[in-house]
């Protein structure tokens, strides 16, 4: 464990630097299921044949990030927007019918954001800004899954990222059987063997009948509430109506048409794929070169609110991930203590 972890966690927090209600525990002790081993539950996930479903899921974060003002002289709309999806709680509806028909609706207060893919057509829509972006994917993508910009991840997507390359650095066990969205599930627990990481454990609830991951809890070391939790609150395994994937921008929407991103563009959008990676598994660190953070971000008065001065630079510190911006403009990020990032920067 895991380059997949490294791709996910720093990528969730690094953009905050560049831009300037906890759930109740889900374990239910009286869920009776056939006995299984951790290996058998992982195999259940790998063999899952669920390709069509719809439901509601909630995402909550308790990372200890500061609240930024949204009005007044010190407000910074771009920074507040960047923090929005990694703080607080968000509710989303998801509809999936195979690899090329997907819709995710993030329901914010008085606003809605949509990601819709229907074959080669991909739409993103923001009701608060009354803007939409349309991308036409290459024809060869019509029958295959293609990464598309997302505002949040479903429990299944996040779980597959975290299970992508389990290795000897992780203890894999089973917790108490649980129930999520009315479905019985095994609790697959991933625990780093090293103490040199901020990650305490990752808990994945796996549907006992279908192998579909139903929730993911990421626990920060020494913190009671999950640092990140994504869980279905209701779920249907029926095929969604085709009309849900036919998107037409509402009247008055400003529409932008863009070219499909190339493979190189997709790679460059992930800090863990563009930077230099040092360390291994849970203690891996991403290093980005000087100039990765625009001056407009560090010049913002809000930068001082989210970053603390340390020897050699400033650090954005959370319960799960630390990001160090050195005085010479380099960036170091990882689920490791600040001192580990400083040591990497001094090498």
Do the domain assignments include residue 15?
Answer: no
Tell me, what's the pLDDT at 224? 87
Q: Are residues 318 and 248 in the same domain?
A: no
How far apart (Å, rounded) are the C-alpha atoms in residues 18 and 295?
A: 9
- Whether 180 and 301 share a structural domain: no
Burial class (CB in 10 A: 0-12, 13-18, 19+), 132: buried
Query: Looking at residue 133, what is its pLDDT?
Result: 95
Q: Could you tell me if residue 116 is left (phi over 0), alpha (psi between -120 and 50 degrees) or otherwise beta?
A: beta
Identify whether residues 274 and 189 lie together within a single domain.
Answer: no
Q: Which has the closest alpha carbon to 75: 13, 20, 16?
A: 20
Write out the residue range of the structural domain in which residue 193 sits. 26-264
CA 227 and chain centroid, separation: 12
Same domain, 292 and 255: no
How far apart are the C-alpha atoms of 245 and 117, rounded to whole Å?
7
Q: Are residues 213 and 306 in the same domain?
A: no
Residue 260 shares a structural domain with residue 143: yes
**Which tokens is 300 given?**
């913002």
pLDDT at 257: 93
- Same domain for 272 and 248, yes or no, is no
Whether 235 and 97 share a structural domain = yes
Q: How high is the pLDDT of residue 16?
A: 42
Q: Which residues pair with 258 in a beta bridge?
A: 135
- Both 145 and 260 in one domain: the answer is yes
Which residues have a Cβ under 8 Å from the Cβ of 227 and sit 6 or more positions away? 61, 62, 63, 218, 219, 220, 318, 319, 320
Inter-helix orientation angle 3-19/155-162, to 10°: 120
Number of domains composing the chain = 2
Residue 206 forms part of a structural domain: yes
Question: How buried is residue 68: exposed, middle or buried, by Cβ count under 10 Å (0-12/13-18/19+)?
Answer: buried
Could you tell me if 340 and 50 are in contact, meaning their C-beta atoms sit under 8 angstroms apart? no
Backbone angles phi, psi at 298, to 5 degrees: -75, -20
Residue 19 lies in a domain: no
Q: Where are the alpha helices (DSSP H) in 193-326?
A: 263-268, 271-274, 295-298, 303-306
Q: Report the C-alpha gap between 280 and 257 in whole angstroms.
A: 40
Give me the pLDDT at residue 24, please. Answer: 36
Q: Are residues 114 and 214 in the same domain?
A: yes
Q: What is the DSSP letter of 281?
A: G
Domain final position from 264, 280, 315: 264
What kind and span of H or E run contains 231? Answer: strand 228-236
For the chain (length 347 residues), average pLDDT per consecutive 10? 50 42 43 94 95 92 63 47 58 92 84 90 92 88 54 80 86 95 96 94 96 94 88 96 94 92 52 69 89 73 78 89 90 93 93
pLDDT of the residue at 317: 86
Please count the residues of the chain: 347
Half-sphere exposure of 338 toward its Cβ, with a 13 Å CA cutoff? 16
Position 53 scores a pLDDT of 96
CATH number of domain containing 317: 3.30.310
Residue 20 lies in a domain: no
In a domain, 7, yes or no: no
At 38, list the tokens.
Answer: 């951790």
């Amino acid at each position: 464990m895991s380059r997949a972890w490294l791709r996910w966690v720093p990528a969730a927090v690094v953009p905050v630097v560049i831009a300037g209600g906890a759930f109740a525990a889900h374990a239910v002790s009286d869920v009776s299921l056939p006995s299984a081993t951790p290996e058998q539950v992982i195999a259940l996930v790998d063999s899952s044949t669920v390709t069509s479903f719809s439901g509601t899921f909630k995402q909550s974060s308790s990372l200890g990030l500061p609240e930024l003002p949204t009005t007044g002289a010190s407000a910074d709309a771009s920074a507040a927007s960047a923090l929005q999806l990694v703080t607080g709680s968000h509710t989303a509806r998801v509809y999936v019918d195979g690899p090329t028909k997907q819709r995710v609706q993030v329901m914010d207060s008085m606003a809605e954001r949509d990601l819709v893919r229907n074959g080669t057509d991909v739409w993103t829509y923001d009701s608060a800004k009354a803007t939409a972006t349309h991308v036409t994917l290459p024809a060869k993508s019509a029958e295959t899954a293609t990464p598309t910009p997302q505002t949040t991840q479903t429990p299944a997507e996040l779980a597959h990222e975290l299970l992508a390359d389990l290795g000897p650095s992780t203890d894999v066990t089973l917790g108490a059987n649980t129930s999520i969205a009315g479905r019985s599930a095994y609790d697959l627990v991933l625990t780093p063997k090293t103490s040199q990481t901020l990650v305490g454990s990752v808990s994945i609830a796996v549907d006992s009948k279908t192998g579909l991951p139903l929730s993911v809890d990421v626990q920060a070391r020494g913190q009671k509430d999950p640092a990140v939790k994504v869980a279905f609150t209701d779920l249907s395994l029926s095929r969604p109506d085709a009309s849900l994937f036919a998107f037409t921008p509402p009247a008055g929407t400003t529409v932008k048409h863009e070219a499909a991103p190339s493979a190189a563009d997709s790679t460059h959008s992930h800090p863990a794929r563009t930077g230099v990676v040092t360390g291994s598994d849970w203690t891996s660190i991403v290093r980005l070169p000087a100039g990765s953070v625009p001056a407009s971000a560090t010049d913002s008065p809000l930068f001082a609110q989210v970053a603390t001065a340390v020897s050699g630079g400033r650090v954005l510190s959370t319960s799960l991930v630390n990001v160090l911006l050195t005085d010479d403009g380099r960036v170091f990020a990882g689920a490791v203590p600040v001192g580990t990032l400083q040591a990497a920067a001094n090498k």
